[in-house]
């Protein structure tokens, strides 16, 4: 996982905005000036109400910027959220004795919103992706689903898992086999691993004999298996969960499409797992 990005969805937008809400009395940092610096630094001024001549409170300003960012520059929105959490931490927003403390309720809601996307917001305001190595069963399924949502939006962060050497699709396939068979072979190559996961869920691969008048979904399943193997071939095999996930010859557009495919195939597997559990 990238160390300078965080997930963004509607719940996180609302929760983060509440962390910077205007004080009921007196003042509370971060100030509008602090926010403006981060907005401009993050390249999100196009969504700032101030640039449109509007005067709004800090919470509404953050909501507007992030909502615009999700639609127009999602990677920048993710970087802005991470930077904003860091700004709040530096201002004492997570320290209960500070005049800038964001409040128990606001922090709790932010923690919950991030948790559902596979992230941890600590008591000290440190934001980091959950380590999946120690999760299993339903908890691991839920965590993987959070990464799938990010991958389907095309975020490269969603293609890799913190604390593992696996990309999302490999981790999902391993989880499927463990759930259905009790264990998986660490020595199996990726096509074999993915084939075993598909087979365990009753999904078709190119090795599954075609039946007369079979449902067209079977053809889709075979194609998605092939797509999963193809995307895996683009992976930067020297990586261990950090840095660039694809080989240097892959363009930005190709990388985004590949990540989305990872999300599609992983999502197919996880939905099938739920149906067969």
Cβ-in-10-Å burial (0-12, 13-18, 19+) of 49 comes to middle
pLDDT of residue 77: 95
- Residue stretches of the chain with pLDDT short of 70: 1-3, 23-26, 156-165, 236-245
pLDDT of residue 117: 85
Question: What's the rounded Cα separation, in Å, for the pair 137 and 46?
Answer: 43
pLDDT of residue 1: 40
Pull the structure tokens for residue 261.
Answer: 């495919």
Facing residues of 129 across strands?
119
The pTM for the full model equals 0.68
Question: What's the rounded Cα separation, in Å, for the pair 240 and 242?
Answer: 6
> Which letter does DSSP use for residue 129 in this model?
E
Tell me the per-residue pLDDT of 117-137, one tens digit each, with 9 for 90 and over: 888 898 889 888 777 777 788
């Amino acid at each position: 996982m990238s160390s300078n990005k965080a997930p963004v969805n509607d719940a996180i937008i609302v929760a983060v905005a509440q962390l910077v809400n205007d004080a009921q009395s007196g003042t509370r940092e971060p100030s509008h000036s602090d926010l403006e610096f981060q907005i401009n630094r993050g390249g999100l001024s196009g969504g700032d109400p101030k640039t449109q001549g509007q005067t709004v409170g800090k919470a509404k300003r953050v909501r507007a910027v992030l909502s615009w960012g999700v639609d127009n520059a999602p990677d920048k929105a993710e970087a802005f959220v991470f930077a904003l959490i860091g700004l709040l931490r530096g201002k004492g927003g997570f320290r209960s004795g500070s005049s800038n403390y964001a409040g128990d309720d606001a922090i709790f809601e932010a923690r919950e919103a991030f948790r559902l996307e596979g992230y941890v917001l600590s008591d000290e305001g440190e934001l980091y992706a959950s380590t999946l190595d120690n999760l299993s069963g339903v908890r691991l399924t839920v965590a993987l689903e959070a990464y799938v949502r990010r991958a389907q939006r095309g975020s490269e962060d969603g293609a890799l898992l913190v604390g593992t050497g696996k990309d999302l699709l490999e981790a999902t396939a391993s989880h499927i086999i463990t759930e259905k068979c009790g264990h998986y072979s660490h020595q199996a190559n990726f096509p074999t691993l993915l084939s075993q996961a598909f087979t365990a869920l009753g999904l078709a691969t190119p090795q599954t004999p075609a039946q007369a008048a079979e449902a067209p979904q079977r053809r889709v399943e075979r194609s998605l298996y092939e797509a999963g193997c193809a995307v895996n071939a683009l992976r930067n095999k020297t990586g261990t969960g950090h840095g660039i996930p694809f080989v240097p010859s892959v363009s930005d557009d190709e990388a985004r499409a590949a990540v989305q495919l990872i999300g599609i195939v992983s999502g197919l597997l996880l939905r099938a797992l739920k149906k067969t559990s």
